[in-house]
Each structure stands twice: as C-alpha cells, then as structure tokens.
Amino acid sequence: MGYKAKNKQAPPAPLEPVKYDKPRKRGRGQKKPEIKRKRNQEEEPSVINKKQKGTNPSAKVEKKTKKTVEVIDSEGEDLWDNAASGSDDDDEDLDDEFDDEEDEEMEGLDVFPKADVDFLGSGSEAEVDEEDEDENSDEEDDEDIAEGEGLDERKSRKIEARKAREAAMAEAELLDSTMQTNIQGETELYELPDEDEPELMTDVAAVNQRIQEVVNVLNNFKELRDPSKSRQDYMDRLIKDIAQYYGYSHFLAEKLCGLFPVSEAIEFFEANEVPRPVTIRTNTLRTRRRDLAQALINRGVNLDPIGKWSKVGLQIFDSQVPIGATPEYLAGHYMLQAASSFLPVMALAPQPNERVLDMASAPGGKTTYIAALQKNTGMVFANDASKDRLKSLVANIHRMGVKNAVVCNYDGREFPKVVGGFDRVLLDAPCSGTGVISKDPGVKINKTEKDFVDIPFLQKQLILSAIDSVDAKSKTGGYIVYSTCSVVVEENEAVVNYALSKRPNVKLVSTGLDFGKEGFTAFRGKNFHPTLKMTRRFYPHVHNMDGFYVAKFKKMSNKFEDKKDKKENRENGEDEDDDPNDYTGFNDEEDLELIDESKTKLRKKKGIPTHAGKPKPASTEENESEKTE
Ligand SMILES: C[S@@+](CC[C@H](N)C(=O)[O-])C[C@H]1O[C@@H](n2cnc3c(N)ncnc32)[C@H](O)[C@@H]1O
C-alpha cells in the first residue's frame, strides 16, 4: 500500500484485556486459593462465568480484540507509510517521508519482524491473531461446504475439528445449565465477608478471587446482591481488596477506582502492573526514522514503527545492545521517550521561527521535540525550577543538536515577568504521577490527600502564568498546551476549568490528537465547562501508554475583563459572590487554604497576631514526577 494512505492513524494496540478467570502471573502469594465462602464452593464459578458471558465486559473484550487485530494488520502493511492526516510532523522535511521506491525496498527486506517473545507486554497480538483465525475458520468451512466443493483431507480434518469443538461446547453448556438449575435461587446472592479478619486479607489468591466476585456482583447488582448489603458495602470491600492486592494506599485505591466503572478500574490496576512498551523518538534534526531503524536493526534491535499516529516514533521489542548507549543514541539520533510524552508536543504543534516557552522542561524530552519541529529556528525557552534537573536537560540539548534553545531556571510562576509574549507555551506540569505507576510504583503509597491539594494548587498558579505568557496577537500561534502524567481529575479537568474561569480571554480548542478519551465535563457532582470535552485522556489499559492528559487553549485577547481573584476580593474585604452557575468548584479544600492565607494576610495588615503553621503552596521540587520519559 502506498504511504499516502488515507486511513486514519490508529492509536497503539491496547493491552490484552484482563481475563477474570485466569490466575495472575505475578509472583505474589504462592498459596493455593482457598476461598472463604458461605456458599457451596463448586457452584460459584459457574455463576461467575455465566454472568461474565452475558454481560458488557465480555462484549467489550471482544470489541477490543477485533480492534487489536485491525491495528496489527495495518501495522504490518502501512506503518512505514506516512498518512497525511493527524500526524505529528506536518512539514515534509521533518519527517521520514520516503518515496515509493524506498518504501518497496524496505518492505522487500522484511526488516521489522515481530519479536518471538514479546517481553514488552504486547504478546497478546499473536494470541489475538490466532483467535481471530480460529473464528474465521468455521466460516470458511461453511462456505466451502455450501459451495459443494470437493473435500480434501485438510478440509475434512477441519470439519472434524469443528464438530469436536461444537460437541465440547454443547456438553459444557449442558453442564452449565444443569448446574444453574440445581443452584437456582441459591447462588444468585453473593454474601460479603463482614469483617476485616486477618485471614481475609493474607491469602492473596483469595483476595483476587473476591475482587472478581465483587466486581461481578456490582455489575449484576439487582440479581446477585445480598439484600442486607448496599452497593457502598460492596464498593468498600472492593477498595480494601484492591488496595491489598495491588499494594495501594486505601486512599489512592479509592480515588483511582472512582475514575472508572468497576470492571474498567480493574483493567486499569492490572495495566499498572505491566511495563509499557519501550519507545524512542527519532531526532529529525539528525536523521530520518527509516535510516535510524535500519542502523538499529543492524545492531540487533528488533523494532517497529510506533503506530500510524506518529511519524517519528519507534517501538523497541527487544535488543541485543543497551538501547540507551548505542552510537546512534550518543550521536543524538533518538530520544528514549514514552509514547504518551509525544502527545503534548504534537498538540502544541510549534512552528519554525516561533518563540516557544517550555515552562517545566527538564529533562528535555519535549523541548528537544519542539526544537526538531521548529527545525532549530526561532527560539525555545526551556525553563525548569530544578537546577539539578536542568543538568540532564542541557546534556540532552547538546546530544540532540538543539541550537535554538535558551535554558533558564525560574519558578514558572514568575513568568511572564521574566519574559512574555510567546507564540506558544507548553506547561507539562509537575504532577502526582498517577499515570506512570507502572514506572514508579512508589506512587501507590507515597501520595497523600495533601498532595492532591498542594499539587493542583501549584498547577493552577502555573497555568495562569502560562496563559499570561502568550501573545494573543501572535501571527502564527497564540496557543497554550497543558499536560500531566496524572489521571486524577483534580490535576486535569479541575485545573483547566479553573483557568477558563480565571482567564476568560482563552478558550479550549481541539488538541488535534485523533485518539484518546474525552475529558470529563462533570465529575462527582461538579460540573465543568462543556468544552472540557475537547481535552484528551490517555490510559494504560486502553491505549497501552502511560496515563496522560492533554488540553489545548487558544488565547483570544491579551486583555480580559479583570474578574478579580476571589483571593484579592477577600483581601480587599469585598463580598464573595456565590454564583450558583459557577462550574469551577471553589468549595474545594485548596480554596480553604486560600481563604486561610488571605485571612492571615489581612490580620497581618491590621496588626492582629496570626497563627503560625499555615499550609503553604506545594514545593516546586517535592511534587514533581520525574517519570515523563
Ligand atoms: C513532568 S516534569 C517535566 C518533564 C519535561 N517536560 C520533559 O518532557 O522532559 C515536571 C517538571 O516541572 C518542574 N517544576 C516543578 N515545579 C516547578 C515550577 N514551579 N516552575 C517550573 N518548573 C517546575 C520539575 O522540576 C520537573 O522537571
């Protein structure tokens, strides 16, 4: 197929969906499952299976499987082709547009064999292929028979095999229905263990089994609930078990669980146990993707294009050499960079000759990508509050041959006083890192409730500075991109919503990314501006990339009606207007802090003694997640 393929670029293949009936592969507790139940033990599995068969989750699994196959098929044919739309490089010179001749040459060489053993978590692809083939084979047989063709040996074998399968299925169904009839009315209810007895929590396999059972009940609540228990009782049990089984603090398990329907939440937690694929970004200032791929293949690297959505990404399946120390790496031909980390820069779409601010830039994965898209023209201000982290930023800038960067070390909140009037600003904000738990499992236990107040507080301040640093009159730009490697709403939609309310001179626009889930427009009783739908969420269990969030603003005017900050209003003793349509959710805990802070200042002004130990804004270095690459 020609590389000007019209088909839309596809997201990366999703992970294999969680199979509830398989034991976990992780080396957790070795004990044989011994599940404490109040019902007959043999009865339950059939109920679970039965229910799973008929409910949405299995439908979803099937859908995903199909999708995976599609991606694989198209990858096999097309990924070296450069589809015209939705790509990360619009400029012909920057990407690896190959002519047809080169393309054919490469295809002929069969240079991108799939890894035999896919240690990076995409082994499901082969399985899926097989499954799919299997499914199709029945249809083929039927067609053959219908057409009355002569039956050769192969066909007879196939038919025999099919008959055997059908007989086995019929038998299983019969058994299933018999068991159902026997247990009707008895096993419909799943009784919840009441207490947190130690033995309820120590047998990991039993905890896992209980998670599956409780999810099943929650998905079929009317039928399977114990009438004496509420949905909340089941949720409480589930969260305790998730926290125990996956090793999260109860607080974070609950917070993350609340983002998804229960079955999907389990998929999310499972995906966090699996490493994401290793990916690299071609540095188009130094080479082309095709040349880089060939050079790495010659060194024994097994790779493939990352997906149709990027023209510069490569996925590494395995390698005989350390990928962070090849001569090509040292010569700056590529950056080891997570796939999700491409997205904010693609959304920013920096243009040659523009002035761009990368407000929180270390260690420079995105800065160097910005410079490449600008073809080393114009200027990229690479700022970071951490002097230490700037060292690796500077090293990367040199290695990658970036010549248009100005490195600076300010607290982002000092912009635009330091310098303003930028064409575009990227704020890849310091965050909790709840999207990169597979890389940094420490997040599971080290993030506290206070972090989810302090970090958004800092993010809100930074986002206003980012907006104020852009020139709305820019001929080519006037855009701000906000991103985090967190999945929680407080750090994403709530921050963007806050910015919209404080800066009526900006509006959200499409990120230009043609995959990703829509941002929330409402969450837990809080409504956000409807345009939050345009922001994008990326998940490990859906997109097989780190959890990420991307929002893009367009600045419409440099002036805006100065709706004074509530903080200022309070300081000036003005009335707070409690607008019922206020979608910014200012009753949050962080606002209490703001109120406290203002009161303290006011007291100081009036000479009234203040209490020490008021909460401070998040430290710029404490809260950062270093796991964006
Ligand atoms: C998510 S990381 C940035 C990753 C970077 N954009 C990249 O792609 O390599 C967040 C960064 O924010 C920086 N940071 C934290 N607080 C800051 C502040 N107040 N102003 C500017 N940078 C800050 C941290 O030092 C950290 O390097």
Q: What is the pLDDT of residues 393-409, one digit of tens each?
A: 999 999 999 999 999 99
Q: What is the pLDDT of residue 137?
A: 37
Token digits of residue 40: 């007959």
| Rounded Cα distance, 389 and 329, in Å | 20
- What value does the mean pLDDT take over residues 357-367? 98
**Cβ(292)–Cβ(561) under 8 Å?**
no
Average pLDDT, the chain: 73
Is 485 a catalytic site residue? yes
Closest ligand 1 atom to residue 364 Cα is 9
Q: What is the pLDDT of residue 194?
A: 64
Q: What is the pLDDT of residue 131?
A: 34
Which one is predicted more confidently, 125 or 587? Answer: 587
- What value does the mean pLDDT take over residues 569-590? 42
Q: Is 365 annotated as a binding residue?
A: yes
Question: Is the C-beta atom of 360 inside 6 A of ligand 1?
Answer: yes
CA 518 / ligand 1 centre spacing (Å): 25
Q: Is 366 annotated as a binding residue?
A: yes
CA angle at 463 for the pair 437 and 532, rounded to the nearest 5°: 75
Question: Is the C-beta atom of 249 inside 6 A of ligand 1?
Answer: no
Q: What is the pLDDT of residue 181?
A: 34
Tens of pLDDT, residue by residue over 163-212, are 655 655 655 554 444 333 333 444 456 777 766 666 666 788 889 999 99
**Closest residue by CA, ligand 1 atom 25:** 386
- What value does the mean pLDDT take over residues 323-340? 98
Q: What is the pLDDT of residue 403?
A: 98
| Rounded Cα distance, 233 and 512, in Å | 42
Q: Is 364 annotated as a binding residue?
A: yes
Question: Is the C-beta atom of 625 inside 6 A of ligand 1?
Answer: yes
Q: Is 304 annotated as a binding residue?
A: no
Tens of pLDDT, residue by residue over 108-136, are 332 222 222 222 222 233 233 333 333 33
Q: Highest mean pLDDT: which of 147-151, 194-198, 302-306?
A: 302-306
**Cβ(290)–Cβ(102) under 8 Å?**
yes
Q: What is the pLDDT of residue 51?
A: 32
Question: Is the C-beta atom of 384 inside 6 A of ligand 1?
Answer: yes
CA 360 / ligand 1 centre spacing (Å): 4
The end-to-end CA distance of the chain, in Å, is 33
For residue 421, the one-letter residue type is G
For residue 415, the one-letter residue type is F
Please give the DSSP secondary-structure letter assigned to residue 520. Answer: P
Q: What is the pLDDT of residue 568?
A: 53
* Range with the poorest average pLDDT among 15-24, 264-273, 391-400, 458-467: 15-24
Which one is predicted more confidently, 572 or 124? Answer: 572
Alpha carbon distances (Å) from 449 to 244, 250, 444, 453, 454: 19, 11, 12, 7, 9
Q: How confident is the model at residue 616 (pLDDT cuts 50, 70, 90)?
A: very low
Question: Is the C-beta atom of 555 inside 6 A of ligand 1?
Answer: no
- What value does the mean pLDDT take over residues 419-425? 98
Residue 295 pLDDT > 50 = yes
Note the ipTM here.
Answer: 1.00
State the DSSP H helix or E strand holding residue 195, giving kind and residue range, or none if neither.
none
Question: Is the C-beta atom of 483 inside 6 A of ligand 1?
Answer: no
Q: Is 240 annotated as a binding residue?
A: no
Question: Is the C-beta atom of 629 inside 6 A of ligand 1?
Answer: yes
Residue 67 pLDDT > 90 = no
Residue 109, helix vs strand vs coil: helix
Q: Is 194 annotated as a binding residue?
A: no
Q: What is the pLDDT of residue 204?
A: 87
Q: How confident is the model at residue 561 (pLDDT cuts 50, 70, 90)?
A: confident
CA 412 / ligand 1 centre spacing (Å): 9
Question: Is the C-beta atom of 396 inside 6 A of ligand 1?
Answer: no
Percent of the chain with pLDDT over 90: 55
CA 269 / ligand 1 centre spacing (Å): 26
CA 384 / ligand 1 centre spacing (Å): 6
Residue 548, helix vs strand vs coil: strand
| Rounded Cα distance, 247 and 249, in Å | 7
CA 620 / ligand 1 centre spacing (Å): 8
Q: What is the pLDDT of residue 202?
A: 73
**Closest residue by CA, ligand 1 atom 13:** 360
**Cβ(68)–Cβ(123) under 8 Å?**
no
